[in-house]
């Protein structure tokens, strides 16, 4: 049995190695440890081993962990966010990865101003085109970005996508490369920098890194299988 810290160190090395193999500086790829369903003690252990960014997909679980753990942890909300949970989400989330409607974007920006917090926001885009409940189409993402007033309060910093589970390698390259190309296009048409590409999970992060991921969201490979 590998310990949690051994798993974490292995993944950390693999992420660096994948960056080097892609001719990239490893410091440009952020490892986000996805701790959903695992107890706060597990987060604490991985935090003690040097990890500071953790991802959760539910607001309530994120808040519960954030309340009991070090305030040096940077929390990323990676799951779908409902309008009525924005206020609660902004209490502890430093990043929100899955903004997927103009209404949600507007609400986050309004409430961020009220609370005077500065979350970083990413648009979730459905590049694969598979039937999926969430995510903007590439055209919708472009339109939304174009319509946004500059917001130093809650800046749009990039794009996020999820690839279908067990997609073939060529398809993964198409999806992740597609997100990068879309980011380049939106950046060119809006003048926004959009440096962040949140893409890649336990099964496909090496391909995502080869295609330019700046944040890989890794759960299972660090914490084990979710029950
Ligand atoms: C759970 C989750 C992950 C992590 O997936 P693993 O396959 O366990 O690495 C990444 N992104 C999102 C949005 C998730 O919900």
Q: pLDDT, tens digit, for every residue of 40-73? A: 999 999 999 999 999 999 999 999 999 999 999 9
What DSSP designation does 66 have? H
81 lines ligand 1 (CB under 6 A): no
Distance 102 CA to ligand 1 centre (A): 24
Give the residue from 183, 175, 219, 216 showing the smallest Cα distance to 199: 216
Nearest atom (ligand 1) to Cα of 79: 13
pLDDT, position 131: 73
Give the residue from 60, 111, 63, 55 showing the smallest Cα distance to 83: 111
pLDDT, position 217: 98
Which residue lies with its CA nearest to atom 4 of ligand 1?
219
pLDDT, position 1: 66
pLDDT, position 132: 72
Instruction: List, for the chain, all residue ranges whose pLDDT scores fall below the cut of 70.
Output: 1
Tokens coding 82:
């409902």
pLDDT, position 166: 84
pLDDT, position 207: 98
């Amino acid at each position: 049995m590998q310990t949690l810290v051994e798993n974490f160190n292995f993944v950390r090395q693999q992420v660096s190695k994948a960056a080097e193999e892609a001719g990239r500086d490893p410091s440009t790829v952020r490892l986000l440890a996805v701790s959903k369903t695992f107890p706060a003690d597990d987060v604490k252990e991985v935090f003690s081993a040097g990890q500071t960014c953790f991802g959760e997909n539910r607001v309530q679980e994120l808040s519960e962990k954030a309340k009991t753990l070090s305030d040096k942890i940077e929390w990323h909300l990676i799951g779908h966010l409902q309008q009525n949970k924005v206020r609660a989400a902004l209490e502890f989330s430093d990043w929100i990865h899955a903004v997927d409607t103009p209404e949600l974007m507007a609400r986050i920006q309004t409430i961020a101003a009220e609370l005077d917090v500065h979350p970083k926001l990413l648009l979730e885009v459905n590049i694969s085109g598979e039937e999926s409940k969430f995510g903007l189409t590439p055209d919708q993402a472009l339109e939304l970005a174009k319509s946004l007033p500059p917001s130093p309060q809650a800046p749009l910093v990039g794009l996020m996508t999820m690839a279908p589970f067990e997609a073939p390698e060529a398809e993964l390259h198409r999806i992740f490369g597609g997100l990068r190309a879309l980011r380049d296009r939106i950046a060119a048409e809006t003048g926004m920098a959009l440096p962040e590409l949140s893409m890649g999970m336990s099964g496909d992060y090496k391909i995502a890194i080869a295609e330019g991921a700046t944040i890989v969201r890794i759960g299972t490979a660090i914490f084990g299988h979710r029950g």
